[in-house]
Structure 1
Amino acid sequence: MTDAFHGRTALCCFLATLLVAIAIRSAAIGLLRNRLDEDPDSYAVLAEQIARFGTFGFAADRPTAYRPPLYPLTLSLMAVDGRVSRAAVGGLHIALGAFAAGGTWVLASRWIGSTRAATCAGILVAVDPLLINQSVLVMTETLATALVVAVLLLADAWRRRPRVRSAIPLGAALALGVLCRPTFLAWVPCVFVWMAFGDSAASWRMRIRRVGPAAIGFLIVMAPWWIRNAARFGEFIATTTHGGYTLLLANNDSFYDHLAARDENSWDASSLDPLVRRLERDYGSNDAELDRAHSRLAWTTMARRPAMAVWSAARREVELWNPMPRAVEGRWSSVPIRAGIAAWYVLQFAMAIRGLFALRGRSQAWSAWGPAWALGLVLVSVHSLYWTNARMRAPFEPVIALAAALGGLGACRPTTVRDTCSTTRRSAVRRSAERRGLADG
């Protein structure tokens, strides 16, 4: 009776989390629906080109690899008469937001072992200001966040039962993440290392067998993009031809001079336009070569001004984790709203740090959270070089919510993490016994 009661309670909490996520995103999209007509990164344009002409490009006769393909491909599936409607984008983002909140709930219930903490984590994702803001924009953050949750769920399933049929989907999900957000390419080897060395007693042959199926799943999903790029552009393009520009955007003389002047106003990126146009004239017909030219110029600037390169990297880290959103183009312009959001994130970050301390000395718990921490390290590392702002951390918000739930609720129950770890150890012992043929049945 008690188990049935707790089961019903957990189900009600899970459904409530989904309803909150759906309701808040529906309200936000309804109130700010005009923002869905904006297309700052041309993803809707790409989706409509795919729907109309079957070409991933900004024109029917000009294929591109400038943007990652997954998000526009997804939008193109919902196009009607070659057009992507507000309703289609809004519906997709509501569904993805609900999945992210619900998936975070499931992860918290497994990693923390508390229905209260699981509900707290799920609600934190459901009402997260940054995620809600991105849900009303035609941009990749909403899909990327859902994919992060999917990867963590699949990684946890593999950790519990490391089999081929759970490893292949994990690798495939990682590939989808890369096709949505190229930054995730640096996450892939981290997850593979976690898979290989999760069992310290495993032989090298066993380590390869643990990672191999995931690598196969990754390659199967990535291969069409690589083959397409090789056929279209005559060379291997791993992700996109946009990385060089974002590297240059973060490392150029104009931006460095702005930082050196201690100007508190936002840097005007349009000051870079003359340089970009000159490079486009020189390399415009070859996107891959233009990408390399952007990268070369950025690295040259960093080598010529190393002190400013270090200072700009530090500033980017501050921007990445800044709790207060900047007022840009009329958004987040209300000081009380921005202050409230800042207070929200300061409290959440404080609880997340407390959650980290709750995991001290618990190696099994750290192992379970391994891919999540790896993603954080990847974001910190990549965005120390590439252009960044607070929205770049959006896919990491579910992990912050999980740590905050542990710090705020899970850490109040000292047995929570310990019990979860004990269960993990018992499962590991049982699997080991099964391999030796000593387990019953």
Structure 2
Amino acid sequence: MSAKVIHFPTRPSRLALRLEWFATDRSVLLGIWALYFALRVAVLLIDVAPTSDAEWYFTRAVSLAAGQGYLDNQGAPTAFWPAGWPIALGLVFAKFGASQVSLGLFNLVSAMLIGAMALALGRRLFGSEGAARAGLLLLAVYPNAIGYVPLALTEVFYTALLMAGCWVIVTRTSRWHLVSAGFLFGVATMVKAQTLVVVPLLFAIEWLRMGQVWKRFPRLFGEGLLVLALAALTVLPWTIRNEIQLGHWVAVSTNGGYTLLTGNHDTATGDYTPDAPVVKELMARPGLDEVARDAEARRLGMAWITAHPDRFAKLLPKKFLRLWLPDGEAEWAYQGGAPGYARFEMVYRAVRVLNQGYYVLLMAAFGAAFFVMIARRRRDGQRWIGWWLLPYGIALYPTLICLVFSGQSRFHYPVMPWVCMTAGWLAMTALGKLSERGTHVHTLH
């Protein structure tokens, strides 16, 4: 005689119910957005004047808004440092007036776009609403991301452009989307010249993530070339302007050689060292115009690398650590430009320490998620290559660039929304596994 076994549905654990609520309830998403917005508005109340690089960008934007052109400190036309950010900020200043308020509100709009892209890309890359929301929450409370909003630095605007360009490529449904992507990457290149490295990376992931790789190669190769060509066309008017006003063809900017030399000379430490004797001597050398000085800096930097390959190799881990080990560098801007810094120095320092600990946790989750995702995809019989790799590709490109030039923690800022997305996926995955513990199927014999 056999007995029939009746299986009753498993009763969800309390944690599982809370995870479902987090992933599905509209009020949760609204709450995350409210927190994201409020923290960024709050930091705009801090009075902080532009200093160092920010002062340069702010001054160029004021000049452009006044119709005076892109000029150096002596009033001569220049192509020093990419002009995309001052041009964008100059347009804002021309419309709303040159002020810290206009700057802050423009950065706030860019920061909200970063949040929207983080949520949308989190859903697309990881196929999970809960993971996308968790990523947005992690980004919402990330102190260093918040701290940049009042600053006249490139990072917030550039990150929004980079993420928007990636979103268009990942979600494209027609060739017209490639036109939009080309324009976005072109503008991003005007802000950071190395941006176009990302385009081949995007199409390489697209090519390898599915089968029939050789059959799909010609189409994807052509689409990638189209995006690169459209990006180049977007930059072309600025290149022509440089030839007319400087008398030389300068694609984007004239600081590439200077940046190379600051990271590769006899006293280089792996960090950005513009005060090194060889750099200061070159910058003060008479008889060289801006373009010639940049070319000479590039020659000196390459000559040093060629003559000292062993010393160059020893700098690589130092550059890597300088890029990825510290975080919270936004505090430096407040230290130099916020009148109230001395009064609240202990608060700033405490936030910096808190931020560093938070950053370490994010990066640890980012590293662990790589191996967890590969294991899960292999377990489920999926190809291990997929769009989930995009955050790691975005992290790779500034790493490779800094290894050649110099390491600065500021350069990993555009990677951090991607890190938060990935850490959000890992957190929801781990909590999901934890919610399954202790549940059992009730049976009746």
User: Normalised by the shorter chain, which TM-score bucket?
Assistant: 0.7 to 0.9
Query: Helix, strand or coil for the counterpart of 1:142?
Result: helix
Q: Greater RCO between the two (CA within 8 Å, min separation 6)?
A: 2
Per the TM alignment, residue 7 of structure 1 is displaced from its structure 2 partner at its CA by 12
Which residue of 378, 383, 386 maps to 1:367?
386
* Greater shift in the superposed pair: 95-104 or 130-139: 130-139
> Distance between the aligned counterparts of 1:357 and 1:122, measured in 2?
22
Q: Are 2:305 and 1:294 aligned?
A: no
Say if 1:187 and 1:378, in contact at 8 Å, map to a contact too: yes
Per the TM alignment, residue 66 of structure 1 is displaced from its structure 2 partner at its CA by 0.9
Say if 1:195 and 1:210, in contact at 8 Å, map to a contact too: no
Check 1:391–1:79 CA distance in 2 against 1; reply closer, same or farther (3 A cut): same
TM-score (norm 1): 0.80
> Distance between the aligned counterparts of 2:150 and 2:242, measured in 1?
31
1:230-285 CA-to-partner distances (Å, cap 9, x unmatched) read 333343322211111111111122335xx8xxxxxx9975343x742544433542
1:275-290 correspondence runs (5 A): 275-285=279-289, 287-290=290-293
Say if 1:106 and 1:118, in contact at 8 Å, map to a contact too: yes
Query: Helix, strand or coil for the counterpart of 1:228?
Result: helix
Per the TM alignment, residue 188 of structure 1 is displaced from its structure 2 partner at its CA by 2.9
Check 1:203–1:325 CA distance in 2 against 1; reply closer, same or farther (3 A cut): closer
Q: Are 2:93 and 1:93 aligned?
A: no
Show the counterpart of 1:34.
Answer: 48
> Distance between the aligned counterparts of 2:284 and 2:383, measured in 1?
51
Check 1:306–1:148 CA distance in 2 against 1; reply closer, same or farther (3 A cut): same
1:69-105 CA-to-partner distances (Å, cap 9, x unmatched) read 2211111112259962010001011111111112101
State which structure, 1 or 2, has the greater radius of gyration over its C-alpha atoms. Answer: 2
Show the counterpart of 1:305.
Answer: 308
Show the counterpart of 1:113.
Answer: 127
> Distance between the aligned counterparts of 1:267 and 1:77, measured in 2?
31
Per the TM alignment, residue 157 of structure 1 is displaced from its structure 2 partner at its CA by 0.8
Amino-acid identity (%): 20
Show the counterpart of 1:122.
Answer: 136
Say if 2:48 and 2:151, in contact at 8 Å, map to a contact too: no
Unaligned runs of 5+ in 2: 1-19, 434-445
TM-score (norm 2): 0.79
Check 1:81–1:126 CA distance in 2 against 1; reply closer, same or farther (3 A cut): closer
- CA-based RMSD: 3.1
Say if 2:189 and 2:196, in contact at 8 Å, map to a contact too: yes
Per the TM alignment, residue 128 of structure 1 is displaced from its structure 2 partner at its CA by 1.9
Number of residue pairs matched? 396
Show the counterpart of 2:404.
Answer: 385
Show the counterpart of 2:195.
Answer: 184
* Greater shift in the superposed pair: 382-391 or 15-24: 15-24
Check 1:136–1:88 CA distance in 2 against 1; reply closer, same or farther (3 A cut): same
Query: Helix, strand or coil for the counterpart of 2:356?
Result: helix
* Greater shift in the superposed pair: 328-337 or 393-402: 328-337
Q: What amino acid maps onto 1:322 in structure 2?
A: L
Query: Helix, strand or coil for the counterpart of 1:84?
Result: coil
Q: Are 2:222 and 1:218 aligned?
A: no
Say if 1:130 and 1:391, in contact at 8 Å, map to a contact too: no
Show the counterpart of 1:421.
Answer: none
Say if 2:32 and 2:137, in contact at 8 Å, map to a contact too: yes
Per the TM alignment, residue 344 of structure 1 is displaced from its structure 2 partner at its CA by 0.6
1:127-170 CA-to-partner distances (Å, cap 9, x unmatched) read 22222222232110111111122122112212xx3x20122212
Say if 1:13 and 1:115, in contact at 8 Å, map to a contact too: no
Say if 2:257 and 2:294, in contact at 8 Å, map to a contact too: yes
Per the TM alignment, residue 47 of structure 1 is displaced from its structure 2 partner at its CA by 0.9
Query: Helix, strand or coil for the counterpart of 2:93?
Result: coil
Show the counterpart of 1:230.
Answer: 243
Show the counterpart of 2:4.
Answer: none
Show the counterpart of 1:146.
Answer: 160
1:414-433 correspondence runs (5 A): none
Show the counterpart of 2:323.
Answer: 320
Show the counterpart of 2:57.
Answer: 43
> Distance between the aligned counterparts of 1:35 and 1:132, measured in 2?
17
Say if 2:85 and 2:157, in contact at 8 Å, map to a contact too: yes
> Distance between the aligned counterparts of 1:82 and 1:167, measured in 2?
32
Say if 2:62 and 2:90, in contact at 8 Å, map to a contact too: yes
Show the counterpart of 1:395.
Answer: 414
Which residue of 271, 275, 288 maps to 1:270?
275
> Distance between the aligned counterparts of 1:205 and 1:44, measured in 2?
44
Unaligned runs of 5+ in 1: 260-265, 415-441
Per the TM alignment, residue 301 of structure 1 is displaced from its structure 2 partner at its CA by 2.4
Check 1:79–1:267 CA distance in 2 against 1; reply closer, same or farther (3 A cut): closer
Per the TM alignment, residue 365 of structure 1 is displaced from its structure 2 partner at its CA by 6.8
> Distance between the aligned counterparts of 1:344 and 1:8, measured in 2?
23
Check 1:409–1:197 CA distance in 2 against 1; reply closer, same or farther (3 A cut): closer
> Distance between the aligned counterparts of 1:97 and 1:231, measured in 2?
35
